[in-house]
Each structure stands twice: as structure tokens, then as C-alpha cells.
Structure 1
Amino acid sequence: MKQSVSVRTAGNVVLALTIIFSVLPFLSMLSAALQPQGSMPEGIQFTAHPQWSNFVDAWNMADITPLLWSSTLLVIVVVPLVVLFSALGGYAFAQLKVPFGRLLYMLFIVGLTIPFETLVTPLYYEISGMGLLNTRLALMLPLIGLNLPFGIVWMRSCFEQMPRDLIEAASIDGAGHVRTFRSIQLPLALPAVSSLGILTFLATWNQFLLAVVLVNDPNKRTMAGALQAFVGQYQTDTVLLNAGALLIMAPTMLLFIILQRYFIRAMLAGSVKG
């Protein structure tokens, strides 16, 4: 009994420390963003007269409106295509006899092991050779390709866990692979599909490096990709820098707060079993 209490106490202490270390950076940024412009805030110091207008100034100075539209358009295109192709590929590798399927699947596994930073330079020359630099396709195509290896591995593991009895029953009833995938397996895989969609959204919305390397027009970058230009322009004004950074992070934070229950449920239901 005493041992279980001590274990629970230790777990609560670790959880409390984790929460503190997670919240402190945001409190520090918020306190700095509410200080008078031109000041040099140190630590967490909330003023008696918070300058909420700093967020409006940061929004206007960084011209965030077109960046918000650019990021939204990128998510609308990338996330559905990645989820669709991953579901189809995962089903094919798990349920169909794909020629050289094991070899092809190993290539996707290898794709997961390659550091993302090593692909930036080849991607730049490839996109440049295609004449797509400084276009929205310069971000959409690489993001779809970079997210597919994880998506296919994720969905394959999900479809491999499907009850064989349902698949055999559908086959006896004359259902082909397309109908079996659409009417039986895909509805059962919705937790894995939803978790993949959320993870792809986060990876797309928070994309920074590709937006800076492949797009020169600031209005075509993502909100995260605009951070470099914002820092370069206002690096001497710590207050506006923190206000702009919070504005850039706000959509992701709001999405996670709203969907955290569904995100955790999807992750647990769609997790890969060892």
C-alpha cells in the first residue's frame, strides 16, 4: 500500500514538473509580448498596463493575413491527399499481393530513417529543375511525398490488424477489394485515419525549413516560414518578436486544445501494436 502511494506521489511530482516546464516558456513569451514596445523584458514580468495592441501591430507589420491563407490552402491540399494515398497504400501492402511488395515496403521504411535536413538540398535542385520554385506546388508536392512513408507504414499496421473473419465474409458475399476497402475496412480504420490526419496537419502547418528554402515570396510561405523574415525585420524589438511568434503558434495551439480529447483517443485506438 505504501509502495503504491509513493509511486503515485512520484508520478504526480513528475507530471507537475512536466506541466511547469511546458507552460513557463509560453508565460514568458506572453509577458514579454504585453510589455511596451521598445523595452527589453527579462523573465516573467506582467505589467499593470498590458499592451494588447502589440498583437495587432505584430499582425499588421508581419502581414499575417496572406500567410494564414497560404497555410490554410496548403493544409487543405496536403492533408486529404496524404491520408487518401496512405490509406490506399497501407491497404495494398497489408491485404493485396503486390509484386515486390516487401521490397517496396522496405523502401518506405528507409524513407523514415533518412534525416529530413539531408533532403532539402536535393529537393531544391529537383524543384528548381521542374520550374516550380517560388510556387505553392513547391511546398505541396514535397510535403505530400515526405509524409507518405510514415502514413503508409501507419496505415499498413492498422489494416493488418483487421479481423480476418470480416474480410472472408465480404469475399464470400462477392465484395471485391474496392468495396471491401470502402465499406468495411476504411470505417474500421477511422481512428488511425483521424490520428494520421491530425499528425499530418501539424507537420504541414508547422513546416518552416521548406517554406524558407523553396519559396522566396513571403506571401506564399507558411505562417511558420514567415518567422525568419519577422525575426530579421524586428529582431531588435523583443516585444513585437514575442507577439508575432505567439500569433504564428496560435492556430496550432487552439486546434490541439479543441481536439485534444479526440487526438488522444485516436492515438490510442490507432496506435501500432508491437
Structure 2
Amino acid sequence: MKDSASGLICPKCEQPLTAQGNQWQCPDRHSYDTAKQGYINLLLVNQKKSKNPGDDVDMVRARTAFLDSGIYEPISDALNALVKTGPVLDIGCGEGYYTHRLQQQSGCEVIGLDISREAIKGACRRTKDIRWLVASGARPPVSARSIKTIISLFTPLMPKGLDHALADDGEIITVNTGPQHLMQLREVIYDEVKAESFTPVPKMADAGFIAVDEQKLTYEVTVPGGDPLVALFNMTPHRWKVSPERAEKLQTIDSLTLEIDVVLHRFRRQKDS
């Protein structure tokens, strides 16, 4: 990754950052170290809601193990087919599975950002050819309106951050779960399950972005029981909602056929924004 191509700004004063050896410094001499793993920590203390926000070590390991199995590769491929130009910013990149595959297939300059330091450490293990940042998606530390494509997978929307980073002619690509996503898994761990639907379109419209494309992706996969199924469970929000006793039921299942149900949207700025 070329330092001159990064377009990073100081999270304190929003002036450009330049590399000085293993440090990044702005004109006001706010400085940030490059960690030995290769990432830059640009997350300010006042941007944290806990000491170690975001995914913890166990969740990062679970995500890595499951995603590396290739079961979600069709989601990655569908996303990559929509990305036409860079630089690309992946907000909420996690341990970098989607980010890395996108960079490999597109050849674009890619920046991966996540609030979790443990997730970014995992991302650094995938590749050093991506600028990995521990930072807040609510105010990405990149030059204003400098990013041609922003991607956001299974991550809460932060419209102000999107508006700051996205170029005037850029696009935002979101991936969210559909109503039947992992329904069979939910039926194992909950007594009662309802199909829940979410669309980012209204919230994005309120922020000045219009949906120009919607694609649904559904397919079935069979996940082996035991560790693979537990890894999937541990990378979902259900991990925080289900008792350990309920989760243990996954260890007793030989395999589980699951429906994958996701929706991809492309957004652009409304002309009067």
C-alpha cells in the first residue's frame, strides 16, 4: 500500500496524515503508530463505548473459521460483481474476508475499517496489501468525499460517516440479511421464530441517498454439526441473545441445512444532496 495513496486524515483535527517511518502525523503533530501487525489505530478514546469495542477474540476466530470454509463465498462474489471502481472503503470489515477477496478480484485500492482491534489484527493476517484501520465508521478518517465505493456488510448504517467519505459520483453497496436468513438455525435455538425483514432504503433516503439497484441472493447450504455450526452461531448476533444451554444443542446435531437469504443494494447521492 503506497502511503501517498492512502488519503488518511487525523481523527482529531481532520488534517491530512503523512507517514514518518512507522508513525503517521498531521501538521498539528498529532501522531499515530503503525502496529507491528501492520494496522493503524485511529480510534479516539471518546469514540469508544467500552474498553475494547467490537468483536472479541472468540468471535473473530469463529468468523475466520466459518468464512474460510467458503460457505459465504457466493455473497462475496455477488458483492464483488457490483464494485466498479476504487478507492474502496469497507466499513465494518471485521477480520477481512470480504475485503481481501474484493481486493484480489478487483485490483482496486482498498481500505478496511473496523472498530474492533482484534478483528483488524485478524485482517492483517490475511494480507498487508490493504490499509487496515482501527477507527470509527461514524467518522471515517479519510479525506472528505474521496471514496468512490463504500461497502457495508451486515453492519449498522452510519449515514453521516457515509456522507463524509463518499465521492460525489460514488456508490454505497450494502448487504443485509433477508427474512429467511438462517431460519433453520434460529428454529434450533429459539422456541418461537418469526421471519424478520429489514431494508436500509428508508434510512438511506432520509440521509440523501437513493437506491438504484436491489438484488436478492438465496441458496441452501449444509453445515456440519459440532465446531462448524458453533462457529457460525458465534459470529451472529444470536450469540448474545441465547443461553449457553440453548447453544449447546448445536453440538448434538450431525448437520444442518440452512437457507442463506441476503439482499444487496446500491445507493447514490440524490441529485439535490
Fold shared, TM-score > 0.5 on shorter chain = no
TM-score, normalised to structure 1's length?
A: 0.21
Instruction: Name the one with the larger helix percent.
Output: 1
Larger Rg: 1
Instruction: Name the one with the larger strand percent.
Output: 2
TM-score, normalised to structure 2's length?
A: 0.22
Q: Which has the higher contact order (CA 8 A, sep 6+)?
A: 1
